[in-house]
Amino acid sequence: MKLSSPFFHHAMPTQRVMLLVCAALIPGALIQIYFFGFGVLINLLLCAGFAVSAEYFVLRLRNRPAKETLKDNSALLTGLLLGIALPPTLPFWMTFVGVWFAIIFAKQLYGGLGFNPFNPAMVGYVLLLISFPVEMTAWLPSRALAENLPSFSESIQLIFFAQTNEGHTVESFRQLADGFTMATPLDFVKTEATLGLMTSEIFSQARFDANLSGWMWVNAGFFVGGLYLLVVKIIRWHIPVAFLSGLFLTSSVLNLYDPQLFSPAWFHLLSGATMLGAFFIATDPVSASTTPKGRLIYGALIGFLIVIIRSFGGYPEAVAFSVLLLNLAVPTIDHYTKPVIYGHKEDKEAHHE
Amino acid sequence: MSDQLTHNIQFNEIVKPAPGQFHGGIHPAEFKSVSNTQTISTIDSPRELVIPLKQSAGLTATPIVSVGDKVVAGQLIAKKQGAISANLHTPLAGEITLISPKYAGHPSGMMSPTVTIQVDDDQDLSNQKSQGENLPKLADWTLCEPEELISQIALAGIVGLGGATFPTNVKLKAQSIETLIVNAMECEPYITCDDRLLREQPERVLQGALIAARATAANNIIFAIEDNKAEAIASLSTCIKKFSPAIPVSIVVAPTKYPSGGEKQTIELITGQQVPAGQLPSALGLVIQNVATLHAIYEAIVNRKPLTRRLVTITGNLVTKPGNYWVPFGTPIEYIMQIFSISQSDCKRVIIGGPLMGNSITNFSAPVTKATNCLIFNRPDPKEKLWLTSATKHDPCIRCGECETACPVELLPQQLLWFSQSDQWENLENQGLFDCIECGACAYVCPSEIPLVQYYRYGKSAINKIKQNQINAERAKQRFDFREMRIARTKAERALKHQKAAEARQKAAENKPADPTGKQTAINDALARVKAKKAALNEPAEHSSNPTNNKVD
């Protein structure tokens, strides 16, 4: 078909955008592999494979050009984002369920790339978290603390057979020398707080501190990847800045209100999936708000909700829930934040009077 | 993020930086140097001219010549019709050979009425005298009344040569104008005709601007120009200093950014104000004229020349000597290809206008018209991803928002696409579809290569069609209602008439004397006599033979 103007076009193709986002995950992913073992890498590979195969399967069912569509790399990205969020020893079949559900129900049933109202990776994550809460919170202690992290082959054995040849299970890897099972810092804070400990008491524990340092490094890795995305202009500053500001402000206010009950802002910023969420999850353009003002509101409310759920909710981590809740609010946000079109300033003023 | 001037411009009391800025915009590769180093020249006279009768906004001009007529250069061949229309003059002497619909460059391939002229031999286009000086002689323009200037401009058939082709005389009639803005932005890639004109003939453009300012009673003139035209700025500012005009004239330099030459964007750059929706620049006391239009005004007022040719940028990698050339209107594009030795096997299409808002034409018989500011003969480099001339299957929109950051009118192109794809016309209109200027910046930056502007054109035409249908339906309803009303009225009238007639008859019957001629009395008397006779005859039988009579009664 012949086109009418414009005849010039100059932009990074969508498939390259997706690929660069995948590439930007590398620093964070490498650090996560270092601190939590090869299970992270195996999860990433499994998720990528499951995501691409799920996408291929549904596209064939839908009679869409499967191979061509797969080239947009969006399924790959969804897989990797979910993979990075999973505990490193999650049984492979759970991973499979999460990824296939994400691709089929959260993405393809809505019409595929561009039509999904919810972030597919987060839908998959939440499905798994609600269905398998024990396995989904069974994170290993970080290298800074762990006696021994599972080797590559041990990781494969744990993921596929739930125990190693020597009979070690995930639980035995999670236990420290003194028999104490280490949870993630967020989980630990939540559990200890329910036991009546004050934040100062929790934060002064050496093993908590050691474990937290691994998580802080991981967050730093995703922060670096996020900065790269900002520099190459694949994402814009609105969502990450609003997200982190919302998170910082909310946690600071709570912490100022009662420092012994609520964790300080730096802890919220550098633990859990904060940086991954701010730069890679909330910035998914398909499910995020699409107006400039809307993006600020969207990001800030996610940050706010994360702290609220982490502090008052039943789950230790809240990025996925917050993102999905705000996905739900996107049409409303977009409706009320339309920019003023050229020449319509006066209409708007008249409208407000 | 504010835009910076990227070129080194010396500012002084005449040359100033633009105070305003507009939202979005893009920085496409410029390709200006392909054609802007060559001095202006003329092309050899074509053998045949095909002059379309519609070369302006509004109505088609009415031809006033017939086949076989001899015409001289500059002769009026078609008269404007109605308020918004423009006169047409022949650029060259010759004979009218055909007046008929022909292909005149419409992108759809539609035919339109044209006048074909067989051009006389030996016409030297570089000779200014042969251009025809057919307009009435005016006194010194500095003493002319605005009406005189405007009517001369109307006679000359001048239209906006920036591409909109709106009749200039109509535009200049705007009331309470304070500032004339000369649009010399020329922001589209490849096009350099205004740039060259300002470099080589700034005094003519300046005088044209002063004439236009007088015609509109504007009390100052601002040349709006992008900073990538340093030579034009220098030459124009020297000219302004030398000329020392009666009203203040300044040059305002804006950063090079497409679409700074869009009328509304130019105004925002120069004044910091936006033209309110649904209003004209005159609402802000502004009138905007393009450089080439002002040159045409100068020619019409000072040299008595009607508009019969224009400066056209002939450029692209297939052109042997790219540059700016005076081309008579009606010159077929295939003739231009011939002089620039462009073979039709190399060149699949020509872009008329710029690559962002122009038209792509594959039928090279189309002529150059008043709207043709640039012809791009390009063989797209397969390695170069810049050109996009045929629709391929595009990726879905991922709502990345690149388009929204590029949109100069602050629309949300991603939302427009969403509503256009799903035929949600009301939402589409509420998102400001009709504020879209179709500059193409959104499509330029779209990572999914979505031809966004075509989706908007589709939406606009669909909505217009629906509105037309609504108007038609409303008219049909009115007609139907009127018919019903008329039928009811006739019926009522008829009923009334019948009633009146009946009443009249009744009245007449009442008023009639019982037996005006005495006939009835005579008949009654006769009947009575017959009855009496009969009674006398039957008297004897009455008691015995007729008992039933009483029963019947």
Q: Cα separation of B259 and A6, whole Å?
A: 12
CB within 8 Å: A8 and B388:
yes
Structure tokens at B91: 């650029």
β-pair partners for B352: B359, B375
Give the residue carrying structure tokens 């009077």.
A353
Structure tokens at A345: 């300033």
Give the residue carrying structure tokens 């998580």.
A215
Q: Cα separation of A111 and A212, whole Å?
A: 41
Closest CA of chain A from B299, distance in Å:
33
Using CA atoms, how far residue B85 sits from A263, B171, B208, in Å, is 74, 12, 21
CB within 8 Å: A6 and B444:
yes
Residue B101 is classified by DSSP as: E
Q: Is the pLDDT of residue B550 over 60?
A: no
Closest CA of chain B from A285, distance in Å:
5
Q: Is the pLDDT of residue B380 over 90?
A: no
Q: Is the pLDDT of residue A190 over 70?
A: yes
Tell me the chain A residues in contact with residue B409 when contact means C-beta distances shorter than 8 Å: 341-343
> Residue A286 in contact with residue A81, Cβ under 8 Å?
no
Paired sense of beta strands B70-71 and B48-52, if any: unpaired
Q: How confident is the model at residue A353 (pLDDT cuts 50, 70, 90)?
A: very low
Structure tokens at B158: 């001048």
Higher-confidence position of A1 and A312? A312
Name the A residues in 266-295 with CB < 8 Å from any B CB.
Answer: 285-286, 288, 290-292, 295
Mean pLDDT of A66-77: 93
A128 located within any domain:
yes
**A349 Cβ contact list (under 8 Å, min separation 6):** none
For chain A, the domain total comes to 1
Tell me the chain B residues in contact with residue A3 when contact means C-beta distances shorter than 8 Å: 360, 388-391, 451, 454
Q: Is the pLDDT of residue A346 over 80?
A: no
- Interface ipTM: 0.87
Residue A115 is classified by DSSP as: -
For B121, other C-beta atoms within 10 Å of its C-beta total 8
Share of chain A above pLDDT 70, in %: 97
Q: How confident is the model at residue B547 (pLDDT cuts 50, 70, 90)?
A: very low
User: Which amino acid appears at position A67 of this protein?
Assistant: K
Tell me the chain A residues in contact with residue B451 when contact means C-beta distances shorter than 8 Å: 3
**Most confident listed range (A173-177, A225-229, A335-339, B56-60):** A225-229
A319 located within any domain:
yes
CB within 8 Å: B396 and A113:
yes
Paired sense of beta strands B88-89 and B76-79, if any: antiparallel
Secondary structure, 3-state, B25-74? CECCCCCCCCCCCCCCEECCCCCEEEEECCCCCCCCCEECCCCCCEECCC
Number of residues that make up chain A = 353
- The string of pLDDT tens digits covering residues B295-328 is 999 999 999 999 999 999 999 999 989 999 999 9
Using CA atoms, how far residue A173 sits from A45, A88, A140, A162, in Å, is 22, 11, 7, 12
CB within 8 Å: A343 and B275:
yes
Alpha helices in A102-169 (DSSP H): 120-131, 133-136, 152-161
Chain B CA closest to residue A284:
B400
> Residue B394 in contact with residue A14, Cβ under 8 Å?
no
Q: Please give the pLDDT value at position A48.
A: 97
Structure tokens at B6: 């990227």
The pTM (predicted TM-score) of the whole model is 0.85
> Which of these ranges, A193-207, A222-236, B201-215, B368-382, has the smallest mean pLDDT?
A193-207
Structure tokens at A301: 């409310």
Higher-confidence position of B32 and B540? B32
A346 located within any domain:
no
**Per the omega criterion (within 30 degrees of 0), is the bond before A6 cis?**
yes
Q: How confident is the model at residue B543 (pLDDT cuts 50, 70, 90)?
A: low
A345 located within any domain:
no
Q: Give the N- to C-terminal CA distance of chain B in Å, as an integer.
A: 117
Q: Is the pLDDT of residue A248 over 90?
A: yes
β-pair partners for B182: B223, B289
Q: Please give the pLDDT value at position B135.
A: 86
Share of chain B above pLDDT 90, in %: 74
Chain B CA closest to residue A9:
B444
Long-range contacts from B393-396, C-beta under 8 angstroms, 24+ separation: B394/B448, B394/B449, B394/B450, B394/B451, B395/A13, B395/A14, B395/A15, B395/A72, B395/A113, B395/B447, B395/B448, B395/B449, B395/B450, B396/A112, B396/A113, B396/A114, B396/A115, B396/B448
- Cα-based angle B374, B375, B376 (whole degrees, multiple of 5): 115
Chain B interface disruption, residue of A3, A7, A346, most B CBs within 10 A? A7
For A53, other C-beta atoms within 10 Å of its C-beta total 17
CB-based contact, A344 to chain B, within 8 Å = yes
A143 located within any domain:
yes
Residue of A1, A7, A11 lying closest to B446 (CB–CB) = A11
CB within 8 Å: B264 and A343:
yes
Q: Is the pLDDT of residue B1 over 50?
A: no
CB within 8 Å: A4 and B415:
no
Q: Exposed, middle or buried, B159 (CB in 10 Å: 0-12/13-18/19+)?
A: buried
CB within 8 Å: B389 and A3:
yes
Residue A279 is classified by DSSP as: I
Tell me the chain B residues in contact with residue A286 when contact means C-beta distances shorter than 8 Å: 398-399
H-run or E-run covering B288: strand B286-290
Q: How confident is the model at residue A11 (pLDDT cuts 50, 70, 90)?
A: confident
Q: Cα separation of B439 and B266, whole Å?
A: 13
SS3 A28: helix
Q: Give the N- to C-terminal CA distance of chain A in Å, as an integer.
A: 49
Q: Cα separation of B232 and B247, whole Å?
A: 21
Q: Is the pLDDT of residue B222 over 80?
A: yes
For A300, other C-beta atoms within 10 Å of its C-beta total 22
Mean pLDDT of A38-43: 95
Share of chain A above pLDDT 90, in %: 69
Tell me the chain B residues in contact with residue A5 when contact means C-beta distances shorter than 8 Å: 353, 355-360, 438, 440, 453
- The string of pLDDT tens digits covering residues B108-135 is 888 999 999 999 886 666 665 555 667 8
Q: Please give the pLDDT value at position A315.
A: 87
CB within 8 Å: A5 and B358:
yes
Q: Cα separation of B131 and B45, whole Å?
A: 12
CB-based contact, A336 to chain B, within 8 Å = no
CB within 8 Å: B399 and A292:
no
Q: How confident is the model at residue B552 (pLDDT cuts 50, 70, 90)?
A: very low
**B370 Cβ contact list (under 8 Å, min separation 6):** B55, B56, B86, B159, B161, B165, B307, B310, B329
Closest CA to B294 of B429, B184, B174, B382: B184
Q: What's the number of CA atoms in the CB half-sphere (13 Å) around residue B31?
A: 23
- The string of pLDDT tens digits covering residues B437-453 is 999 999 999 999 899 99
Q: Please give the pLDDT value at position B337.
A: 94
Paired sense of beta strands B350-352 and B359-361, if any: antiparallel
Q: Please give the pLDDT value at position B551.
A: 47
Closest CA of chain A from B447, distance in Å:
4
Closest CA of chain A from B21, distance in Å:
12
Mean pLDDT of B227-233: 95
Q: Please give the pLDDT value at position B509.
A: 84
For B44, other C-beta atoms within 10 Å of its C-beta total 13
H-run or E-run covering A307: helix A292-312
Q: Cα separation of B547 and B511, whole Å?
A: 44
How many beta-carbon contacts under 8 Å exist across A and B? 164
Closest CA to A322 of A277, A292, A264: A277
> Which of these ranges, A35-44, A270-279, A343-352, has the smallest mean pLDDT?
A343-352
Q: How confident is the model at residue B499 (pLDDT cuts 50, 70, 90)?
A: very high
Q: Cα separation of B37 and B231, whole Å?
A: 11
Residue of A7, A14, A290 lying closest to B355 (CB–CB) = A7
Q: What's the number of CA atoms in the CB half-sphere (13 Å) around residue B493?
A: 6
Q: Exposed, middle or buried, A138 (CB in 10 Å: 0-12/13-18/19+)?
A: buried
Mean pLDDT of A197-204: 86
Paired sense of beta strands B111-119 and B48-52, if any: antiparallel
Range of the structural domain that residue A104 is part of: 14-338
Cα A290 off chain centre by: 20
Q: Can you state the angle between helices A120-131 and A74-85, rounded to 10 degrees?
A: 30
Chain A CA closest to residue B434:
A341
Closest CA of chain B from A293, distance in Å:
12
A195 located within any domain:
yes
CB within 8 Å: A3 and B278:
no
- The string of pLDDT tens digits covering residues A298-338 is 999 999 999 999 999 888 889 999 999 999 999 999 999 99
Radius of gyration for the alpha carbons in chain B, expressed in angstroms and rounded: 38
Residue of B276, B391, B411 lying closest to A346 (CB–CB) = B276
> Residue B115 in contact with residue B51, Cβ under 8 Å?
yes
Tell me the chain A residues in contact with residue B390 when contact means C-beta distances shorter than 8 Å: 1-3
Tell me the chain B residues in contact with residue A343 when contact means C-beta distances shorter than 8 Å: 264, 274-279, 409, 435
Chain B CA closest to residue A112:
B396
Q: Please give the pLDDT value at position B265.
A: 96
Q: Is the pLDDT of residue B381 over 80?
A: no
Q: Is the pLDDT of residue A194 over 50?
A: yes
Closest CA of chain A from B316, distance in Å:
14
Chain A interface disruption, residue of B187, B390, B399, most A CBs within 10 A? B399
Q: Please give the pLDDT value at position B389.
A: 72
SS3 B340: coil
Q: Please give the pLDDT value at position A350.
A: 61
A344 located within any domain:
no
Phi, psi of B46 (to 5 degrees): -75, 160
- The string of pLDDT tens digits covering residues B23-39 is 999 999 999 999 999 99
- The string of pLDDT tens digits covering residues A100-134 is 999 999 999 999 999 999 999 999 999 999 999 99
Alpha helices in A162-278 (DSSP H): 170-174, 185-194, 199-203, 206-231, 238-257, 265-270, 274-276
| Beta strand residue intervals within B66-178, DSSP E | 70-71, 76-79, 88-89, 94-103, 111-119
> Which of these ranges, A204-208, B302-306, B425-429, B504-508, has the smallest mean pLDDT?
A204-208
Cα B536 off chain centre by: 108
Chain A interface disruption, residue of B387, B400, B418, most A CBs within 10 A? B400
Alpha helices in B156-201 (DSSP H): 168-172, 193-200
User: Which amino acid appears at position B158 of this protein?
Assistant: I
Residue of B278, B386, B408 lying closest to A8 (CB–CB) = B386
Q: Cα separation of B359 and B386, whole Å?
A: 17
Using CA atoms, how far residue B386 sits from A11, A259, A307, B31, B533, in Å, is 9, 57, 46, 12, 127
A1 located within any domain:
no
Q: Please give the pLDDT value at position B127.
A: 60
